[in-house]
Amino acid sequence: MATHDYKTVERNHENAENIDLIDIFVQLWRGKVIIGIFVIVALVLAGLYLAFAKEKWTSSAIITTPDSGQVSSYTNAMNTLYPTNAPLVSDIQQQFFSRLNAALSARSLQLNNQEEPEKLSIEPTVKGQPAPLAISYESDTAEKASKTLEKYITEINRGIAGEIEKDLTSNINSRVKELTSSLQAMEHVAKEKQQEREKVLNQALLIAEQSGITKPQVQQSEGVSDDTLFVLGSDALKAMIQNHATSPLPLSVDYYQLRQNLLAVNSLKAQPDTLYAFRYVMKPDTPIRRDSPKRALTLVLAVLLGGMLGAAAVLGRNAIREYNLRHKG
C-alpha cells in the first residue's frame, strides 16, 4: 500500500513539472511580441556596434635565414680580408638573421610602448628553433596591415645592412693598416739587409785595393765568404757595388703576396643594397577575414541575448502579476 502511495506521489510530481513547463512555453508564446522587440533592439545595438567598432585585420609573413646569394658580397669581402680565417657562410647567415630578429623584437617593443600602440608580433614557427619566424601586424584595414608589415621588415633589413656596411668598412680600414704595416716592416728589413751587404762589399773593396788585388784570385765566386770577398779583385767588387746600388730590395715571396692582398682589400667596397638579413618563406599576405568584430557571431549573440532578456521580461512580468493577484485575493 505504501509503495502504491509513493508511486502516486511521484507521478503527480512529474505531472506538475510538465504542467509548469507547458505553462512557461505558453507564457513565452503569448509574450512573443515583447521578446521580438527585445531581439530587434539587440540587433539594432549590434548593428550600431558593427558600424562603429574599430576593425582589426592581421597580416602575416614567414621569414628565415638568407640564402648564400643574398650574403655573397659580404662573404666575398670577408674571404678577401681574411683568406685563411674567413667565417663560414652558414655562420654569416645565422649572424645576419640573429641581428634582424633582435631588431624586430626591439621595433615590436617600441611600437607597443608608443602613445598609440601598434601590435607587431614575432614568434618561431617551430618551438625551440631560431628560424623560421612568423611575423604578424595588426591594423584597421587589410591592405594597411599588409603594406605596413612589409614596410617594417624592409626598413629593419636596410638598417641591418647599413650596420653591416659600417662594420665592413671598419674591417677594411683596419686590414689596410695591418697589411701596410707588415709591408713597411718587410721593406725596412730588406733595406737593412741591402745596406749590410753594401757595407760588406765596400769593406772587401778597401781590402782588395790595399792589397793591390785587381783581378780575381779564384776561378769561381760561389764559395767565397764575406770575409774573403776581396779575392775577387777590386775591378769585380766595384762592378758588384755599382750593380748592387741599382738593384731592387731583396724582398721575399711573402712580401709580394701581402702586396697583392693589400691591392685586393683596397678595391673592396661595401654594397649594402645587395645584402639581405632574411629570406621570405611567405610574403606579407592581405587578409580576407578580419579578426574583429565578427559580424555573424555578433548577430547570433545579439539574437540570443535579446531572446533571453525578452523571455526574462515576459516571465518576470507574469510572475509579478500572478503574485499581485494572489496577494489581493
Interatomic CA distance for residues 260 and 21, integer angstroms: 100
H-run or E-run covering 155: helix 142-211
Per-residue model confidence (pLDDT) at position 53:
62
Residue 180, H or E segment: helix 142-211
- Beta-bridge partner residues of 64: 279
> What is d(CA 121, CA 185) in angstroms, rounded to the nearest whole number?
55
> Are 163 and 280 in contact, with CB atoms under 8 Å apart?
no
1 is a domain residue: no
Please answer whether residues 281 and 63 qualify as being in contact, where contact means their C-beta atoms are separated by less than 8 angstroms: yes
Q: Is residue 120 part of a domain?
A: yes
Q: How many angstroms separate the CA atoms of 43 and 50, rounded?
A: 10
Give whole-number Cα distances, 155 to 23, 100, 162, 277, in Å: 69, 11, 11, 11
Phi-psi region of 128 (alpha: psi -120 to 50; beta: other; left: phi over 0): left
Q: Whole domain around residue 199: which residue ranges?
A: 54-292
Torsion sign (Cα): 258, 264, 267, 273: negative
Give the per-residue pLDDT at 106.
93
Render pLDDT for 73-112 as a digit per residue (tens, 0 to 9). 899 999 988 888 889 999 999 999 999 999 999 999 999 8
Given a contact cutoff of 8 angstroms between Cβ atoms, the answer to whether 99 and 108 are in contact is: no
**Number of domains within the chain:** 1
Residue 317 included in any domain: no
Has residue 135 got a pLDDT over 90?
yes
C-alpha angle with apex 157: 168 to 128, nearest 5 degrees?
Answer: 100
CB 214 within 8 A of CB 235: yes
pLDDT at 91 (0 to 100): 92
56, 291 in Cβ contact below 8 A?
A: yes
Kindly state whether residue 66 falls inside one of the protein's structural domains.
yes
Q: What is the pLDDT, as a whole number, of residue 122?
A: 92
Min mean pLDDT across 139-143, 162-166, 222-226, 266-270 is at 222-226
pLDDT tens readout for residues 38-50: 778 777 777 776 6
> pTM value?
0.65
- The predicted pLDDT at position 323 comes to 73
36 domain-assigned: no
- Summarised one tens digit per residue, pLDDT across range 150-186 is 999 999 999 999 999 899 889 889 999 999 998 889 8
**Alpha carbon distance 265, 77 (integer Å):** 8
Residue pointed to by grid coordinates 783581378: 215
CA distance linking residue 191 with residue 250, whole number of Å:
8
**Cβ count near 292 (within 10 Å):** 14
* CA 104, chain centre distance (Å): 6
Residue 60 maps to a domain: yes
Query: Which pLDDT belongs to residue 16?
Result: 47
pLDDT digits (tens, 9 = 90+) for 264-309: 888 888 787 888 999 999 999 988 887 666 677 666 876 788 778 8
CB hemisphere CA count around 143 (13 angstroms): 0
The CATH number assigned to the domain holding 243 equals 3.30.1890.10
Q: What is the pLDDT of residue 9?
A: 42
What contacts 323, CB < 8 A, 6 or more positions away?
Answer: none
Lowest mean pLDDT among 14-28, 99-113, 120-134: 14-28
Tell whether 47 is covered by a domain: no
What are the tens digits of pLDDT across the range 189-200?
888 888 887 888
179 found inside a domain? yes
